[in-house]
Amino acid sequence: MFNLKNIAILLALGVLSASAAPASDVSVAVAEAEQPAIVAKSAQEIPVYACQGSRWRGACRKLYVDVDECFNVHPDFNDNISSIKNEDTGRSRCMWFEDANCRGRYYKNQEDANLADGDGYFNDRISSISCYAWRGD
Ligand SMILES: [Ca+2]
Ligand SMILES: [Ca+2]
């Protein structure tokens, strides 16, 4: 009777420890999986799509720009972007700056498939980006 009780306790402990390990693994995995979504939501990252060539050709990259923070373009895209668009115009507006740290001239066309047309001033000249929250008219 005493032995049975001990066995029952050991079994209970065994079950607990056996289930505890996978449970903690799962919670860690869930936490890691949820983290990007939480960060993206709290930081209000605006997805910006930029390509080195016009009309979305050449090397392209999705840039995630924090709202109200200046984003300096990666070195390989600096002064190299020929098409760019804000992919979340429903809640934001972005400004494209000619110099780093959001300085110099800027413009606000939210989607420009060919920066080289018109006066072409901003073609291969964008160096930084700033986006702000915007909720329609
Ligand atoms: Ca280019
Ligand atoms: Ca520049």
List the chain domain ranges. Answer: 1-43, 45-133
* pLDDT score at 32: 52
Centre of ligand 2 from the C-alpha of residue 12, in Å: 67
Centre of ligand 2 from the C-alpha of residue 75, in Å: 11
Q: What tens digit of pLDDT does each residue of 72-111 get? A: 999 999 999 999 999 999 999 999 999 999 999 999 999 9
Q: What tens digit of pLDDT does each residue of 52-83 get? A: 999 999 999 999 999 999 999 999 999 999 99
Comparing CA positions, the residue from 78, 84, 58, 89 lying closest to residue 127 is 78
* pLDDT score at 9: 47
Q: Is 61 helix (H, G, I), strand (E, B) or coil?
A: strand
Centre of ligand 1 from the C-alpha of residue 80, in Å: 4
DSSP 108: -
Q: Tell me the two tokens of residue 14.
A: 């065994």
Centre of ligand 1 from the C-alpha of residue 27, in Å: 45
- Give residue 135's pLDDT band: very low, low, confident or very high (50, 70, 90): confident
Q: Tell me the two tokens of residue 71.
A: 């984003």
> Is 80 exceeded by the pLDDT of residue 29?
no
* pLDDT score at 99: 98
Comparing CA positions, the residue from 127, 104, 109 lying closest to residue 119 is 109
Q: Is 103 helix (H, G, I), strand (E, B) or coil?
A: strand
| CATH code of the region 45-133 | 2.60.20.10
DSSP 38: H
